Structures are given as C-alpha cells and as structure tokens.
Amino acid sequence: MRWIRWMVPLLVVGLLVSLAGMAYANGGPHGGYTPTTDACAGCHRAHTAQGPNLLTAASTYELCMSCHGASATGADTNVADGVYTDRQGGGEGTVNAPLLGGGFVNYQSATVTSIHDVDGTQSAAWGFGVARGSTANLPGPLTCGSCHDPHGSNNYRIIREEIAGTTVTVDQVDESAKDYTVEQWPDNVTNACVACHGAYHVTRANSGEDNSDDGSGNADYGGDISTYAHRVDMSYQYGSNADPETTGYGGYTLPLTASKYVACQTCHLPHGTAATMTTLATGPNTGDSALLRLDNRGVCEVCHQK
C-alpha cells in the first residue's frame, strides 16, 4: 500500500500545522509557548521545590505588577496608571494614552475612586447567582487571574475561558494588530463580566419595567431588576438616543461594540476609574464611583440627553 508512504508525512505535517495554528496569538509572555523557549520561567521559579502554587493570591498581583506596574519594566501596558507607555502601532501618535481597562492606582492622572480590588481579599460579587443588589461569594478571591489567564487563552485579552464555573467566550478581534487604547470590541464582550455579575445581564426589552422574566433565557435572580440594571447586548438606537460613540454629549462619548451594541463596558471600566460620584442614587451601591467611566450620572446623559 504505497499511499501510506505519502500519508504518514502528510498527516504529521497536518498535525504540526494545526498545532501551530492553535498557538495563542496573545501578547507578551502570555501563551504562544514553543518548546524551545523557557517561557514559563518568566513567572514561575524554575526547578525548585516550590512549584507554581507558590504564587499565592496576594503575590499574583505583585507578579503581574513586576511587568505591568507603574514603571512598566516588562510591558508597555501600565495598568497601575491605566496608560499605554508608548505609541500604539509604532508610528506617530502620543505616548501615555489611556488604556481601555482603566487603572488600578490612577486613571487619567487622577487617583482612582473605585477598582476591582485584586489584592486577594475580596470575593463577594454583586449579583453572582443572587438578586441584583445583593452579593454572593465567588469560588475564590478576586485577583488578576480571576479574569485573565496568564497562560494565554482563545479569548480577547486573555480573558479566562472559564470564570467562576461558567464557560466564557469573548471573541478575539485585534490579534494581528493589537490596540490597547481604542475600542474594537466583539459583540459578546459583556461575557467578560456576567460570569460574576449574572443578575445584571438584562437583555430583554423594557428592562426598566417588568423584569420577573427577562425573556432571553437568562436566569431570573428574583425579579428585582429595576432602575440600575441597564439592558445590554442591544443596539444603542432607541427613541431619540444620540450615537454615544460619535455624537456624544457635552464633549463626552462612550464606546460601543462592533455592531454598536451597548455592553457593560460602555458604562464601566473593568480595572478602575477616577470618576467622581457626588449624587449617589439610593440602592445597593457601595458609596463609590462603581467603576463608571464618567462622573455622576454622566454615563446616562451621553445617550439620553436630558
């Protein structure tokens, strides 16, 4: 059987090609590992008795910050100050443009007013399998590794493929030419949030009214969804809404996904914000700026110009 002679090398080549294709196109030391480089060593101590589990929750933050910190000694994305320390794309343009994720210490040169506190002490998340406005504990403490998989993933920005027991898909959009300062979100970018904040994932029409059943198959966490749980994964175009991305209001704009959908990230920054909040609504807020992009109720005004 002569064809076998041809098939074997072909199969081997095919396998290699498909393996190569599987390699993640993630940035920096995250993923895309080849057997020749000791890429693990950059984060794990090599060949000592203590293995990877030495990386405790508190030290995960310090590990990430040893490259992504204010001094950005091992990356261009400085997540402490929420800036990209170089020019995007290499050519013209400014340095230190704000990052899409916000900052953990400062944002737009001001001290943050709320963050996802990733020091490994927090684990109660709003609306995690419970009614919006109440909290339930996540399976583990919140760290950078709760949302990102430092080993690489098939998701946008190495968002974990599984968060708090839920499978998560956030499509990659800019893997060939990454831009950390201009939104190019996939339509399912909301998935990065709802594994932990399920009760906020309201996708049915008239979300401000009767939400005992959100009509989309999402779990009903008690039918209390009201004032603050804004509908997401929908087009911004309702009634007389202005395009928040281009028109905006008073010089302020808000980002949308590829198909102009509203996402959680339209109003919230995942890392931290320096927005100020003087007119708190009554409700289950924590008395801070709730990771909002704009001061006070700015995020509402940009679309609903009242």
Partner 1 sequence: MTSEDPRSLSPTPETDPRASEAPEPTAPAAPPPAEPFLRVEGVGPQAPAPEVLSFAVPDLSALAEPPADETRRRKLLAVLAVLLVALCGVVYLFVRYLNRPEPLPELLPVPVEVNYPPHFVFAFYDVNAPLGVALSPDGKRVYVTESEGDRLIKMFDTQGNLIRAFAPPRTTAAERAPVYIAVDARGRVFVSDRLQHAIFVFDAEGNYLDAILGPDLTLSEYIAKHTGQTPDPGAFAYDIFEPEVHYRTPDGDERTLPRPDAPTWAPLGVSFDPSGRLIVTDVAREQHRVLVFPAEVIAADDWTDFEPEVFAFGAFGEGEGQFQFPNKAVVDALGRFIVSDGNNGRLSVWSPEGEWLFVTGTGGGGAGLNLPRGLALDERQRLHVVDAVGQVVRVYDFASEEPAFLFTFGTMGSLKGQFNYPNDIAIDATGRLYITDRANDRVQVWSY
- Give the residues lining the site for partner 1 (CB under 8 A): 28-29, 37-38, 41-47, 50, 54, 59, 62-63, 66-67, 69-76, 78, 80-81, 83, 85-87, 90, 93-96, 105-106, 109-111
Q: Record the tokens describing residue 34, joined without a space.
A: 């080849």
Closest Cα to residue 76, out of 180, 197, 187, 217? 180
Q: Could you say which of ligand HEC, partner 1, none residue 46 binds, taking C-beta under 5 to 8 angstroms by partner kind?
A: partner 1
Greatest extent of the chain over all pairs of C-alpha atoms, in Å: 80
90 phi, psi to nearest 5 deg = 85, -30
> Following CA atoms 27, 31, 36, 37 in sequence, which dihedral angle do they give, to the nearest 10 degrees?
50
Q: Which is nearer to ligand HEC, 274 or 291 (CB)?
A: 291
Residues facing residue 292 across a β-bridge: 268
CB of 123 to partner 1, least distance (A): 22
Whether the Cβ atoms of residue 21 and residue 83 lie closer than 8 Å to each other: no
CA distance 143 to 163: 12
- The nearest distance, CB 178 to partner 1, in angstroms, is 11
User: How many Cβ atoms sit within 10 Å of the Cβ of residue 16?
Assistant: 10
**Long-range pairs, 50-57, Cβ under 8 A, ≥24:** 56/120, 57/119, 57/120, 57/140, 57/141, 57/143
3-state secondary structure of 44: coil
Q: Does 120 bind ligand HEC (CB under 6 A)?
A: no
* Residue nearer to partner 1 on the CB measure, 16 or 95: 95
What is the footprint of ligand HEC within residues 15-34 (CB under 6 A)? 26-30, 33
Residue 197 in contact with ligand HEC, rule: CB under 6 A: yes
Is 8 or 182 the residue whose CB approaches ligand HEC more closely?
Answer: 182
Minimum distance between the CB of residue 13 and ligand HEC, rounded to whole angstroms? Answer: 24
CB of 139 to ligand HEC, least distance (A): 9
Minimum CB separation from ligand HEC for residue 306, in Å?
Answer: 14
Choices 6-14, 118-126, 218-226, 243-251 (CB under 6 A): range interacting with ligand HEC: 118-126
Q: Which does 196 bind (CB under 5 to 8 A by kind): partner 1, ligand HEC, none?
A: ligand HEC
The Cα-based distances of 68 to 24, 142, 203 in angstroms read 20, 18, 35
Report the residue closest to ligand HEC, judged by CB.
28
Residues in the chain: 306
| CA-based nearest residue to 102, from 80, 69, 127 | 80
User: Which residue in 271, 274, 294, 301 binds ligand HEC (CB under 6 A)?
Assistant: 271
Instruction: Give the three-state DSSP class for 160.
Output: coil
145 binds, among ligand HEC, partner 1, none (CB under 5 to 8 A by kind): ligand HEC
Among ligand HEC, partner 1, none, what binds residue 293 when CB lies within 5 to 8 Å by partner kind?
none
In the region spanning residues 199 to 228, those forming contacts with ligand HEC, defined by CB under 6 A, are 200-201, 228
Q: Indicate whether 154 belongs to the interface with ligand HEC (CB under 6 A).
A: no
If one asks whether residue 97 binds ligand HEC (CB under 6 A), the answer comes out as: no
73 binds, among ligand HEC, partner 1, none (CB under 5 to 8 A by kind): partner 1
Q: Which is nearer to ligand HEC, 12 or 161 (CB)?
A: 161
Residue 107 touching ligand HEC (CB under 6 A): no
Please count the other Cβ atoms lying within 10 Å of the Cβ belonging to residue 166.
13
Q: How far is CA 142 from the centre of its chain?
A: 14
Residue with the two structure tokens 């990065």: 192
